[in-house]
Amino acid sequence: MEEFYQKISYFLEKHGFLKKTVLFFTKYFPYFVLIVYPCLLFYLLITKNSMLIHATLKPLVAFLFVTILRKIIHRPRPFEIFSIEPLISHKSGESFPSRHCVSAFIIAFVCFYANNIFGILMCIIALLLSIGRILCGVHFISDVLCSFFIAGIIFIVKIF
């Protein structure tokens, strides 16, 4: 796995535009998701969509669950284990699962309550954000995959 991250780092250093693109996804897509989410809630409110309560509670449950799970597991990040330099500065520990990724995916999933095309677009953004987290060396692939599955399970489970 160390060789995988070293090859990614080397490849991105050689290809400046690709490195800037990955950094863009990693840096700005979380803000985009953060802006979209309250807009979604407002849209569901004004359209009197019955899924507003689910769109509010499911991301909250996902965020809290992952925050607690990360504290319990306290898994080190790739840059802590391997001899690689992360592309972005990041705190140590609490790598598993990725809170950025679970939040992006659960918000993307609840966007389907408003519109299928919007939900698909947000899933693509969540996927690009997740890939960026891996390529930057701050998450393992398993951190991101588990985040996707946690978001999916929380999305499909009936809250009430």
Mean pLDDT of 42-58: 96
Q: Are 144 and 101 contacting, i.e. CB atoms less than 8 angstroms apart?
A: yes
For residue 143, the model assigns a pLDDT of: 97
For residue 89, the model assigns a pLDDT of: 85
Of the pLDDT bands very low, low, confident and very high (cuts 50, 70, 90), residue 99 is very high
pLDDT tens-place string over residues 117-144: 999 999 999 999 999 999 999 999 999 9
Q: Where are the domains of the chain?
A: 2-156
User: Which sign does the torsion angle of CA 20, 1, 93, 149 carry?
Assistant: positive
- Among residues 98, 18, 116, the alpha carbon closest in space to that of 108 is found at 116
CB atoms within 10 A of CB 103: 22
Helices (H), 47-140: 52-73, 78-81, 99-110, 116-135
Mean pLDDT of 52-67: 97
**Which pTM value belongs to this model?**
0.93
For residue 160, the model assigns a pLDDT of: 63
